[in-house]
């Protein structure tokens, strides 16, 4: 009986186990001389195989693995496949940049795979110990990845800032966990969130949830806890920034979903107002600071702060709906950010690093396709119609209006309109100014094909948004 259970658990966990062993193979191959040059293709190949295994092991019903410490259902499988897809695009696009910076090595790619596995474990965990180990596996790999560029002065600084603030976030989450364990006497997330069905809510329970969500706010970089984000975006190598901006956010969204789904605490006024005010404050701070930025990555970081605020607003609105509005926003935001940072990585891969916004001057005369792709991405982040960014923002505002929060919806729209300025400024530089740096070559049909996947899907999903939204609604029900 026990043996059978263990076998079932292992067979449902094959993709992660495979990736884990391949991460160590990549590490080994990185130090053997004639095989060194296959590191990148091995990483891409093993991620593809893990993606295939994930499809192959797909089942409709919910499965609990390893004595209920891991869970596998429609939602986890969907978000895992999304993570694999984003990861593939990131490593394919960043090859040239890394070669130019002399960063391609076995340890780089194996740490990257470990960070991915950490995020996958966060997505599928149903136990506080496993969840904590997943958080730490992804963030420990990311600290070392940021600091890996040892010749750069700013990389080390970004690493130490990310290190300290990320550990504070983990410790806050853990402190919340310890109180939850004391109240409910259980480490299983299902039991913790359904505890309120049979018991009165206590102040300590509320306090521990607030501690945990301050930690989540640190990881999402929501406004009062956003100080690390611009520095890390600027200091880390661009492919790592791309990773930090996307995959951990998906993972922590699933974390929030697990803790709040079927939980009465969202109806508790103190907690839901806490989430709401964090969201509004974040939209305000993000848009205001982004106006003043001269560097493109810092601008994207502050726009990320504003978008995280929207994610918190969307989580707040899931009192009435289920989490599909928030999930739609998270997916929209992550894929557009990945597209934007991938395009910047691609342009920066020839000798010249794109740092300032004015470096975009006259990009359209150099390559029309790249500037159009970047324009679609920026318009989607800003929330202009014909892109899914518009539909995602519309869903959040619609849900707010349905809850009679009309004043808050108006304030949010005003800040978003102010924020439009800094996106349009980049587009102005690309199309209406001249003088692009002549050192830069933007060609390579292979890279351009990969880069255009996301902008095309941004427009394609906008044409059939109901389909995507209904799918999310069904998997998160």
Residues near another protein (CB under 8 A) are 128-129, 132-133, 136, 140, 143-144, 147, 150, 153-154, 156-161, 163-164, 167-168, 171, 174-175, 177-179, 181-182, 185, 187, 230-231, 234-235, 289, 292-295, 298
Rank residues 151 and 434 by Cβ distance to another protein and give the closer one: 151
Q: Tokens at residue 308, please?
A: 């995280």
Q: What is the closest distance, in whole angstroms, from the C-beta atom of residue 136 to another protein in the complex? A: 5
Burial class (CB in 10 A: 0-12, 13-18, 19+), 292: exposed
Rank residues 30 and 230 by Cβ distance to another protein and give the closer one: 230
Rank residues 285 and 313 by Cβ distance to another protein and give the closer one: 285
Residue with tokens 């990585």: 345
Rank residues 292 and 460 by Cβ distance to another protein and give the closer one: 292
Q: What is the DSSP string of 350-364?
A: SS----BGGGGTTHH
Q: Are 392 and 329 in contact (CB under 8 A)?
A: yes
Rank residues 158 and 370 by Cβ distance to another protein and give the closer one: 158
Q: What is the closest distance, in whole angstroms, from the C-beta atom of residue 181 to another protein in the complex? A: 6
Q: What is the closest distance, in whole angstroms, from the C-beta atom of residue 151 to another protein in the complex? A: 8
Q: What is the closest distance, in whole angstroms, from the C-beta atom of residue 104 to another protein in the complex? A: 19
Q: What are phi and psi of 125, to 5 degrees?
A: -80, 150
Rank residues 186 and 437 by Cβ distance to another protein and give the closer one: 186
Rank residues 77 and 231 by Cβ distance to another protein and give the closer one: 231
Q: What is the closest distance, in whole angstroms, from the C-beta atom of residue 321 to another protein in the complex? A: 34
Q: What is the closest distance, in whole angstroms, from the C-beta atom of residue 270 to another protein in the complex? A: 19
Q: What is the closest distance, in whole angstroms, from the C-beta atom of residue 450 to another protein in the complex? A: 30
Distance of CA 85 to the CA centre of its chain: 12
Q: What long-range pairs does 379-387 form, CB within 8 A, spacing at least 24? A: 379/423, 379/427, 380/332, 380/336, 380/458, 381/303, 381/307, 381/333, 381/336, 381/337, 381/340, 381/423, 382/416, 382/419, 382/420, 382/423, 382/424, 383/416, 385/462, 386/459, 386/462, 387/458, 387/459, 387/462
Q: Tokens at residue 139, please?
A: 């963030």
Angle between helices 74-101 and 238-260 (to 10 degrees): 170
Half-sphere exposure of 21 (CA within 13 A, CB side): 7
Element (H, E) at 409: helix 406-432
Sign of the torsion angle spanned by Cα atoms 454, 458, 463, 465: positive
Alpha-helical runs (H) found in 102-202:
106-124, 128-146, 153-184, 189-193, 195-198
Q: What is the closest distance, in whole angstroms, from the C-beta atom of residue 191 to another protein in the complex? A: 12
Q: What is the closest distance, in whole angstroms, from the C-beta atom of residue 421 to another protein in the complex? A: 17
Rank residues 69 and 263 by Cβ distance to another protein and give the closer one: 69
Rank residues 4 and 198 by Cβ distance to another protein and give the closer one: 198
Rank residues 72 and 298 by Cβ distance to another protein and give the closer one: 298
CA distance 246 to 37: 27
Q: What is the closest distance, in whole angstroms, from the C-beta atom of residue 155 to another protein in the complex? A: 9
Which residues 6+ apart lie within 8 Å of 173 measured at CB?
A: 132, 135, 211, 212, 215, 216
């Amino acid at each position: 009986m026990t043996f059978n259970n263990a076998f079932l658990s292992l067979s449902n966990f094959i993709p992660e186990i495979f990736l884990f062993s391949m991460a160590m193979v990549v590490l080994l191959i990185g130090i053997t001389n004639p095989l060194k040059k296959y590191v990148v293709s091995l990483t891409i190949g093993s991620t593809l195989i893990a993606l295939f295994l994930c499809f192959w092991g797909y089942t409709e019903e919910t499965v609990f693995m390893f004595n209920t410490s891991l869970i596998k259902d429609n939602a986890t499988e969907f978000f895992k496949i999304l993570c694999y897809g984003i990861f593939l695009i990131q490593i394919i696009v960043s090859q040239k940049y890394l070669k130019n910076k002399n960063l391609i090595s076995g340890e780089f790619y194996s740490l990257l795979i470990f960070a991915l596995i950490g995020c996958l474990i966060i997505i599928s965990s149903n136990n506080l110990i496993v969840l904590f180990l997943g958080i730490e596996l992804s963030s420990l790999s990311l600290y070392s990845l940021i600091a890996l560029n040892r010749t750069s002065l700013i990389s080390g600084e970004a690493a130490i800032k990310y290190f300290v603030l990320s550990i504070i976030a983990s410790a806050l989450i853990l402190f919340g966990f310890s109180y939850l364990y004391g109240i409910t006497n259980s480490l299983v997330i299902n039991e913790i969130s359904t505890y309120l069905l049979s018991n009165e809510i206590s102040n300590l329970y509320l306090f521990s949830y607030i501690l945990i969500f301050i930690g989540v706010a640190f990881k999402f970089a929501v406004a009062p806890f956003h100080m690390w984000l611009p520095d890390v975006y600027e200091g880390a190598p661009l492919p790592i920034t791309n990773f930090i901006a996307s995959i951990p956010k998906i993972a922590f969204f699933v974390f929030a979903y697990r803790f709040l789904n079927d939980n009465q605490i969202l109806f508790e006024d103190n907690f839901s107002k806490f989430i709401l005010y964090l969201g509004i404050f974040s939209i305000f701070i993000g848009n205001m600071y982004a106006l003043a930025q001269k560097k493109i990555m810092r601008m994207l970081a502050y726009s990320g702060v504003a978008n995280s605020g929207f994610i918190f607003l969307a989580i707040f609105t899931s009192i009435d709906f289920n989490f599909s509005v928030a999930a739609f926003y998270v997916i929209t935001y992550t894929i557009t950010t990945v597209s934007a940072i991938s395009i910047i990585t691609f342009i920066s891969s020839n000798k010249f690093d794109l740092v300032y916004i004015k470096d975009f001057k006259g990009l359209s005369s150099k390559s029309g396709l790249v500037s159009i792709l970047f324009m679609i991405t920026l318009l989607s982040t800003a929330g202009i119609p014909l892109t899914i960014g518009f539909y995602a923002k519309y869903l959040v505002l619609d849900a707010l209006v349905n809850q009679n929060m009309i004043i808050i919806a108006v304030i949010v729209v005003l800040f978003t309109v102010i924020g439009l300025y800094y996106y349009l400024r980049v587009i102005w530089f690309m199309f209406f100014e001249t003088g692009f740096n002549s050192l830069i070559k933007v060609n390579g049909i292979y890279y351009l094909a990969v880069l255009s996947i996301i902008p095309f899907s941004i427009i394609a999903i906008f044409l059939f948004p109901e389909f995507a939204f209904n799918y999310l609604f069904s998997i998160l029900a």
